[in-house]
């Protein structure tokens, strides 16, 4: 039996022991998040993934593959990697499936709360800042999303890294197959693409990654975001879009 004078601070997980800094500025900081991620290793389901986002004059197009991996095994061939999180906004996921699912639930709740309190939709700049704050907290380790949406200022694509940095782009990619997809986008993207043309370019980019990246495959999810809202479709055959 320990006495009250025993010092066990060095043996406590910050999440279960010292709570003094859990609710730090913004959303709290979890200094051992990376350690927990490393401990999981190949035991955690990950998306592997190739995701792309393109901006057009009339909206944005987001596309992803549909494969999840567990170590060196394909754990799922039918993963939804792009989700609606805002009436005119969607998010792709790359990285830890559990963390990404939790992030999406949290963001959806915050968007609804903002709308109920203010009587208006959150802007894409505010939404990207909120996402960056969530990721900086360390509670959603190993997630690299792409945010795409449209607001009163037009269409937006944001690349947000796992540490929470936010970059607005004309087009962007994430995931293990990103180098293959980026090569296609560099050659075929232009700022005067229509939404339908952007869907074709996005499909070619994902298809290129699927051909060479072992962690990407099994079809394509496509989200088109316009003033009318978010439309997400799923295709097992790339020929549907090419």
**Residues annotated as part of the active site:** 49
Tokens found for residue 77: 């061939």
What is the dihedral sign for C-alpha 137, 140, 143, 146? negative
**Chain position carrying tokens 């990721």:** 135
The rounded distance, in Å, linking the Cα atoms of 97 and 101 is 6
Considering just the CA atoms, what is the radius of gyration of the chain in Å? 19
**50 phi, psi to nearest 5 deg:** -135, 125
The rounded distance, in Å, linking the Cα atoms of 79 and 77 is 6
The rounded distance, in Å, linking the Cα atoms of 130 and 124 is 10
Nearest CA among 67, 51, 20, 14 for reference residue 172:
51
The rounded distance, in Å, linking the Cα atoms of 224 and 196 is 9
Mapping DSSP to helix (H, G, I), strand (E, B) and coil, where does residue 154 land? strand
Contact of 51 with 90, CB cutoff 8 Å: no
Mapping DSSP to helix (H, G, I), strand (E, B) and coil, where does residue 193 land? coil
């Amino acid at each position: 039996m320990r006495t009250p004078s025993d010092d066990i601070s060095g043996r406590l997980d910050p999440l279960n022991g010292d709570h003094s800094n859990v609710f730090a500025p913004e959303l709290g900081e979890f200094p051992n998040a990376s350690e927990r991620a490393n401990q999981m290793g190949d035991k955690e389901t990950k998306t592997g993934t190739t995701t792309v986002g393109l901006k057009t004059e009339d909206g944005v197009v987001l596309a992803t593959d549909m494969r999840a991996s567990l170590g060196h095994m394909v754990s799922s061939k039918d993963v939804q990697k792009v989700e609606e999180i805002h009436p005119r906004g969607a998010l792709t996921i790359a990285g830890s499936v559990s963390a990404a699912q939790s992030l999406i639930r949290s963001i959806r709740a915050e968007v609804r709360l903002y709308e109920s309190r203010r009587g208006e939709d959150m802007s894409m700049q505010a939404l990207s800042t909120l996402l960056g704050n969530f990721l900086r907290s360390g509670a959603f380790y190993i997630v690299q999303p792409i945010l795409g949406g449209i607001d009163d200022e037009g269409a937006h694509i944001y690349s947000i890294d796992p540490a929470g940095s936010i970059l607005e782009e004309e087009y962007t990619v994430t995931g293990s197959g990103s180098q293959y997809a980026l090569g296609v986008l560099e050659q075929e993207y232009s700022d005067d693409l229509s939404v339908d043309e952007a869907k074709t370019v996005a499909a070619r980019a994902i298809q290129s990654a699927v051909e060479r990246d072992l962690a990407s495959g099994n079809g394509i999810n496509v989200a088109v975001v316009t003033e009318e809202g978010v439309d997400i479709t799923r295709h097992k055959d790339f020929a549907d879009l090419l």
